[in-house]
């Protein structure tokens, strides 16, 4: 196996040199051809996907896992739509982000270039194969994909179509390679290829991400968890606050940008919390409160220390009454995961200070935490959300799959 993975690394590096020079039209052509091919190949994709689903059923996988595995007509349409959107994004490669002139006349700038070779290790959803490859190629990279064993046949078929589409667009087909084995050792081998893979992006549960981080010899762009907070300030439009809190918690509770802890200023706790709690109850949300919350909300369970750290990903919410915003920020710093925090306030000074002081990947004023998403923030697409600070912090779009080199234009400058 070692040799095969090493060979993939070398081929990816070769392909990345060609991809770095690919022009915008070729990359757009690839994405458009891929979108058409997904439509034309729906039968062969469906057949491969049925193999995976049947296998999963025989193995007795849970319904949620099988649901994630199925490439339904809707999932296929979303993939096609996604490809078209990525195709229409501006090409980030070659952009000169800044340029300045030195006293000696040397004109210096920074030009955007691809990262090189990107490794993606992911779990069950087969659409990641297409979505991730599309973004990597748009940014001029080569990519090595390693999907979950449950989706093996689906992924193999999709990867085959990706390679055919590259070929048709005159791009190197080795710009997309798929690890054609479900052997776990292959992942370890891939994580050791620091000479050929510039960055590794794991997508999946916390166990997978910790495994990749532990063994990867190259940098890893990752996101562990989202313990997101909304702080409702003393001066605030209570109806807006209720709407934001409800949206942040219940609109899609299983996502990483859903609210997990609600912090409420003591001055409005009495006028805000009982009605808010009613809204939550009507929407099936279980509350776990601090002592002061429980005094205002009947039949509220007591929050333990663990609740403040919890990422429930479910209709459960921890609630705490705080004496002021500083205590709210202290709470966020101590228990949060630097993912997404929002303040609801009508007070300018506190809005301004909250944004400055909270060090999370997205800090919002008067809007739902659910906006921490590449599409929602206007990046056009997203390959994941990074909660580590190096290179990218927050949603990663096509630009985060590039870097910048320095360029300099002179007329004979020498160093003295």
CA dist 179 and 146 (Å) reads 5
- Of 49, 124, 261, 360, the one binding its own copies (CB under 8 A) is 360
- Indicate whether 94 belongs to the interface with its own copies (CB under 8 A): yes
337 part of the interface to its own copies, by CB under 8 A:
no
Residue from 162, 223, 361, 382 binding its own copies (CB under 8 A): 361
User: Is residue 408 close enough to count as binding its own copies by CB under 8 A?
Assistant: yes
Of 272, 238, 231, which Cα lies nearest the Cα of 360? Answer: 231
Site membership for its own copies, residue 10 (CB under 8 A): no
Q: Which of 130, 137, 169, 220 binds its own copies (CB under 8 A)?
A: 220
Candidates 268, 281, 366, 380: give the one binding its own copies (CB under 8 A). Answer: 366
DSSP character string of 105-170:
S-EEEEEEEE--EEEEEE-S-THHHHHHHHHHHHTT-EEEEE--GGGHHHHHHHHHHHHHHHHHTT
User: Does 113 participate in binding its own copies (rule CB under 8 A)?
Assistant: yes
Residue 283 as a binder of its own copies (CB under 8 A): the answer is no
Can residue 383 be called a binding residue for its own copies (CB under 8 A)?
no
Distances (CA, A) of 43 to 46, 72, 158: 5, 11, 12
- Among the residue ranges 25-33, 128-136, 169-177, 383-391, the one whose residues contact its own copies (CB under 8 A): 383-391
Decide: is 24 part of the binding site for its own copies (CB under 8 A). Answer: no
Site size for its own copies (CB under 8 A):
68
198 is a contact residue toward its own copies (CB under 8 A): yes
Contact criterion met (CB below 8 Å) for 11 and 163 = no
| Whole-number Å distance between alpha carbons of 377 and 379 | 6
Q: How far is the CB of 227 from its own copies (least distance, A)?
A: 15
Residue 90 within binding range of its own copies, rule CB under 8 A: no
Pick from 368, 381, 382, 383 the residue near its own copies by CB under 8 A.
368
* Straight-line distance from the first to the last Cα atom of the chain, in angstroms, rounded to the nearest whole number: 53
Sort 202 into a burial class: Cβ within 10 Å, 0-12 / 13-18 / 19+: buried
Which residues are within 8 A (CB) of 397 and not within 5 positions of it... i.e. 6 or more apart? 135, 374, 379, 380, 381, 382, 383
Contact between 66 and its own copies by CB under 8 A: the answer reads no
Q: What are the two backbone dihedrals, phi and then psi, of residue 309, each rounded to the nearest 5 degrees?
A: -90, -10
> Quick one: which of 3, 100, 207, 349 contacts its own copies (CB under 8 A)?
100
Cα 333 to Cα 63, 151, 294, 354: the distances in Å are: 37, 38, 24, 12
**277 and 304 Cβ atoms separated by less than 8 Å:** no
Query: Does 349 interact with its own copies (rule: CB under 8 A)?
Result: no
Choose, by CB under 8 A, the member of 35, 288, 393, 398 that binds its own copies.
393
Q: How many angstroms separate the Cα of 186 from the Cα of each of 13, 17, 148, 175, 202? A: 18, 24, 12, 19, 15
Establish if 347 lies at the interface with its own copies (CB under 8 A): no
73, 298, 349, 390: residue in contact with its own copies (rule CB under 8 A): 390
Q: Which helix or strand (DSSP H or E) is residue 84 part of?
A: helix 73-88
Cα–Cα distance measured from residue 216 to residue 145, given in angstroms and rounded to the nearest whole number: 15
20 in contact with its own copies (CB under 8 A): yes
Applying CB under 8 A, among 251, 268, 281, 295 the residue interacting with its own copies is 251
Closest distance between its own copies and the C-beta of residue 386, in Å?
9
Window contacting its own copies (CB under 8 A); options: 43-51, 165-173, 241-249, 302-310 = 241-249
Measured from the CB atom, is 46 or 219 closer to its own copies? 219
Q: Residues 372, 361: contact at Cβ < 8 Å?
A: yes
| Phi–psi pair at 159, nearest 5 degrees | -65, -40
From 2, 7, 10, 21, residue interacting with its own copies (rule: CB under 8 A): 21
Per CB under 8 A, residues contacting its own copies are 17, 20-21, 94, 100, 102, 106, 108, 111, 113, 115-116, 194, 198-199, 213-214, 217, 219-221, 237, 240, 243-244, 247, 251, 333, 351, 355-357, 359-368, 370-372, 376-378, 388-391, 393-395, 403-415
């Amino acid at each position: 196996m070692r040799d095969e993975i090493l060979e993939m690394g070398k081929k990816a590096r070769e392909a990345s040199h060609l991809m770095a020079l690919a022009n915008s039209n070729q990359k757009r052509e690839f994405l458009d051809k891929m979108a058409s091919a997904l439509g034309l190949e729906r039968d062969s994709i469906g057949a491969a996907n049925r193999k995976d689903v049947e296998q999963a059923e025989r193995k007795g996988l849970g319904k949620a896992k099988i649901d994630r595995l199925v490439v339904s007509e809707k999932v296929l349409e979303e993939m096609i739509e996604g490809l078209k959107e990525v195709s229409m994004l501006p090409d980030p490669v070659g952009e000169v982000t800044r340029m300045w002139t030195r006293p000696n006349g040397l004109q210096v700038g920074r030009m955007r270039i691809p990262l090189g070779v990107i490794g993606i290790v992911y779990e069950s959803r087969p659409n990641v194969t297409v979505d991730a490859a599309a973004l990597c190629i748009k940014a001029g990279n080569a990519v090595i994909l390693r999907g979950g064993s449950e989706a093996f046949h689906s992924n193999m078929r999709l990867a085959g179509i990706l390679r055919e589409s590259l070929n048709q667009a005159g791009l190197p087909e080795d710009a997309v390679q798929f690890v054609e084995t479900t052997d776990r050792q292959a992942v370890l081998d891939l994580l050791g290829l620091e000479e050929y893979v510039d960055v590794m992006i794991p997508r999946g549960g916390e166990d997978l991400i910790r495994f990749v981080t532990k063994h990867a010899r190259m940098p890893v762009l990752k996101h562990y968890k989202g313990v997101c907070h909304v702080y409702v300030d003393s001066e605030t439009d209570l109806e807006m606050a209720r709407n934001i809190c409800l949206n942040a918690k219940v609109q899609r509770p299983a996502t990483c940008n859903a609210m997990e802890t609600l912090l409420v200023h003591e001055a409005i706790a009495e006028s805000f919390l009982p009605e808010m709690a009613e809204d939550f109850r009507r929407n099936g949300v279980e509350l776990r409160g601090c002592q002061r919350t429980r005094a205002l909300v009947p039949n509220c369970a007591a929050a333990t220390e663990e609740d403040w750290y919890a990422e429930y990903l479910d209709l459960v919410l921890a609630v705490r009454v705080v004496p002021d915003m500083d205590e709210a920020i202290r709470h966020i710093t101590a228990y949060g995961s630097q993912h997404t925090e929002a303040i609801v306030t009508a007070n300018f000074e506190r809005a301004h200070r909250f944004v400055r002081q909270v060090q999370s990947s997205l800090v919002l004023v008067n809007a739902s935490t659910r906006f921490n998403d590449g599409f929602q923030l206007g990046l056009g697409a997203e390959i994941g959300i990074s909660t580590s600070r190096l290179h990218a912090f927050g949603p990663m779009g096509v630009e985060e799959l590039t870097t910048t080199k320095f360029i300099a234009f002179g007329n004979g400058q020498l160093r003295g």
